[in-house]
Amino acid sequence: MGWMTRLRVLGAELAFPVGLFFFSRLALFLLARVSLVFDDQLHRAPFKQVGLAGLDAFCRWDCGWYTEIAQQGYVRPQATNFFPLLPLMGRLLHEATGLSIPVALVLIANLGGLLGLIVLYRLFRSLEDEETARVSLLLFTAYPFAFFHSAGYPESWLVCLTALSVLLSLRGRHWLAALALGLGGLARHLSLVAGLALLFQQLRSRGGGLRAWFHRDILALALPLVMTSLYFVYLWRQFGDPQLWWKVRNSEWAGAWSGLGNWLRGNWAPEVNLYVAMSFIPGVGALLLARHRRWWPLAAFGIPLMLVLWTVGLVGLGRYSAAVWPAFLPLGAWLGRHPALRGPVVLGFALFQGMLVFLFVHSYPIN
């Protein structure tokens, strides 16, 4: 196959995920810009958008913590709850281009979003036909809380790097898969749950049994833990306590680690109730992964991740559930078999997402 033919094949393969990325981001950024031009009042300080809305409109709430870390490093102990990959890349882009830190963070997050869609499309196509892969990717992008993959948050890199690790594992590239997952752990520690998918695929590829546990590639599964532990070594050198992020989590951020049990017993804000209701969409999708053997490597990640989020991720359950990408493959497969519902479901999701974007860029408590 000549290089021109390879380029054409590659272009045809990239056309759908790249086109979907640019169309969806253009729609989101235009919505944010127009909405803030007509109404520049914000829900919290500074209470007014300065100038026309730009990319910085997608740097709200927790993006402020990542901005602080990118500007100053880890100065306050409270900031240690936010892992270093996103602020590090944002700082590097800022220094290379002169862009403001908030804009740099948003651009880095969107780079992760673009690469994530490309990887997911390849992964879904390796497990299902092209039509199912397209519908699944479309549903994943339209999911109401998927706009967080365009904001200055690390969820887009969690998706990209965990999907890449699973794809590499399915191809037998176990050490590269572990390396990708290690980077994911530095973006958000929840990425490490994908290690269960890597373990499952390694054991399945060798037929299971006791001998499969003693293959040399099993050692690769320690690499993500070692790479993520580098952050804890940094905390030890910076603050004298490698467990500081966990201790801060139990004090400063205790409410952010609540689960469905707390939700059932408490009186929560309306947005949290919305997070819970919407989370059952990827929750059902995750459970459906158990239906087919070819989906089991994804189930080994998607089901435990969803259970973890329901246990300790209540306040961020909206954006967290949008990162449970394995769940959208069975949902896409189901929607692909019901073409009459495809348009209404995707359009309904997209309109709902637009409403949430309006609330987010106006600093309402959607975070």
Residue 16 falls inside a structural domain:
no
Residue ranges making up the domain that contains 179: 54-243+327-361
Mean per-residue pLDDT for 246-265?
Answer: 81
For 301, phi then psi, to 5°, come to -100, -50
Residue 15 binned pLDDT confidence (cut-offs 50, 70, 90): very high
Residue 250 lies in a domain: no
Q: Is residue 305 included in any domain, yes or no?
A: no
- Over the stretch 141-170, which tens digit does the pLDDT of each residue have? 999 999 999 999 999 999 999 999 999 999
- Please check whether residue 276 lies inside any domain of the structure: no
Can you give the pTM of this predicted structure?
0.95
Number of domains observed in the structure of the chain:
1
Q: Does residue 294 sit within a domain?
A: no
Q: Residue 106: pLDDT band by 50, 70, 90 thresholds?
A: very high
Query: Does 152 fall in a domain?
Result: yes
Residue 225: inside a domain:
yes
Is residue 157 in a domain? Answer: yes
